[in-house]
Structure 1
């Protein structure tokens, strides 16, 4: 899709500007081009999903499309964000809304405070990029990832005591209007949102002795959730001295983000009004041909946007993009029947929706919510 390609180009340009010390307006360029990257990405999702994202107005009794220079006026980023994340406390929405407001304040102003801004909201900037990568790959497949194109930059920054002191002095010179905007925005957030790394992503870098292992990476990222209680206490004690923001490139991880058939089927059922089990999931991949049939001589020939073969375990993992596609296609009775060739069952009552299939058993009758059909034991 051309909008997705344009979005990725904008994101790559944004990062190049951010990492280029010769650019006098590097941070402003990063904010502007990431704004465009997100706008094109969400427009691509809306187009794919068949959503009309034009602005309309009433002209007399008629409803007309708003136009600018003859072209339909389409949703701006703020409107797209509200549509995509309806929960105001969602950290991804909070991060995007923060940058929309920041762009309105800094565009064509504060040119001399670019370095101070970068130091002050570096964690927000990293979160903006990582959230973009998650949305991009989740909606359009792992093949669209920017991970192989964006590398960890070589820099001095806060790796030296003097560099750290310089960055702190820069933060203190931020204009009062911007300091107030940042402080007031953070103060208005729910505490869980403010602490979420999808809103503000921060890392502390600890120097290691260079290992002799030739396969060791120069920079390795350890997630806070993966630490023991003792390790977390140590890290928190170190953090009281201050924090260092760095930009970390995501690296390939075997099976990262992929779902087992039962997990994917459960995720689909949670988002549609009908029962959806592993047997129906198997029907879906056969109909859509996202992977070869069991026993095929070339099991690796999958649709990589939706499914990947794991040679080591001789099984398949399914992407969030495939779950999203099944949700779109099975959310209505007509779509469910078209894809799966059978009538759906209401997951609350257990009754068939519309005309049941020939020989169908009577609907289950029980008080309370109808339990999900078992996902265990079905081959997918």
Structure 2
């Protein structure tokens, strides 16, 4: 859609010739080639993450190693999040994966003693360690701590004292707690950004949905019962004024993308 020819070509007697496979199919760029293109649409942290995983894949090739999970889990988690973010930014929030794959379940747990034994016995093959070290040495400190390159969080195990709390699988550590001081990163609970109805309409208009009006917005939230507290699309803020959260803004954007003929003035045929 960007007008880029992503086939492997060569100039032969002034004409562009496309490389073919032994079976006659056209040869297309691989991911590494795409990442190096000047018009690659993903951000630097995304590219660093994918380049790292590509180098790792090439180093392992078709050999098997079962001692690598701890070393690359942060990069794999970042890759999953980056992939979903790229889908939403380039193709629309209606294709977001969190609607279909919202959580991941782990089927095994280890005691601290078991984990210590596993880590002690889990040295990586030397050639893989070398590849990882060489790659990360080429990154700046800012690139190394970018969550789009490696996504890391700290969690604590807790046994709930009362029944309602037993459904909570993960507890986030309050940043002011004693536990948080022991970590280099704590997840902070932040105030959700709020939007007035006019701000929702103005945002959609600025994005090109010029036929999306306040009336359109009112009809949409009424049809979807968006003020139902269970849907967490918004809340009554200071002054008893209803404000919308960013989740609703994304839902409105999705509605516009799904019905462009209704919310955008289309050019004459």
Establish whether TM, by shorter chain, passes 0.5. Answer: yes
- Three-state SS of the structure 2 residue aligned to 1:122 is helix
Counterpart of 1:192?
142
Unaligned runs of 5+ in 1: 1-46, 240-254, 266-277, 302-307, 327-337, 342-380
The answer to whether the 8 Å contact 2:197/2:214 transfers is no
Counterpart of 2:86?
135
Question: Using the alignment, how far apart are the partners of 2:79 and 2:220 within structure 1?
Answer: 42
Q: 2:157 aligns with which of 199, 207, 217?
A: 207
Question: Using the alignment, how far apart are the partners of 2:167 and 2:55 within structure 1?
Answer: 37
- Three-state SS of the structure 1 residue aligned to 2:58 is helix
The answer to whether the 8 Å contact 1:57/1:63 transfers is yes
Q: 1:154 aligns with which of 107, 129, 141?
A: 107
Scaled by the length of structure 2, the TM-score of the pair is 0.67
1:243-289, Cα deviation, whole Å (9 max, x unpaired): xxxxxxxxxxxx89x98899899xxxxxxxxxxxx4881683254x7
The answer to whether the 8 Å contact 2:9/2:18 transfers is yes
* Cα deviation, residue 218, structure 1: 3.0
Map of 1:1-380 to 2, 5 A cutoff?
A: 47=1, 49-68=2-21, 69-83=23-37, 84-85=40-41, 90-109=44-63, 111=64, 113-114=65-66, 116-147=67-98, 148-149=100-101, 150-156=103-109, 159-172=110-123, 174-212=124-162, 214=164, 217-220=167-170, 222=172, 227-228=175-176, 232-236=180-184, 278=202, 281=205, 284-287=208-211, 293-296=216-219, 299-300=222-223, 310=233, 312=235, 313=242, 317-319=248-250
- Three-state SS of the structure 1 residue aligned to 2:115 is helix
Q: Give the paired residue count.
A: 239
Scaled by the length of structure 1, the TM-score of the pair is 0.50
* Cα deviation, residue 132, structure 1: 1.6
* Cα deviation, residue 59, structure 1: 1.1
Distance 1:160-1:311 versus aligned 2 partners, 3 A rule: closer
RMSD of Structure 2 on Structure 1 (CA): 4.5
Distance 1:259-1:70 versus aligned 2 partners, 3 A rule: farther
Distance 1:57-1:140 versus aligned 2 partners, 3 A rule: same
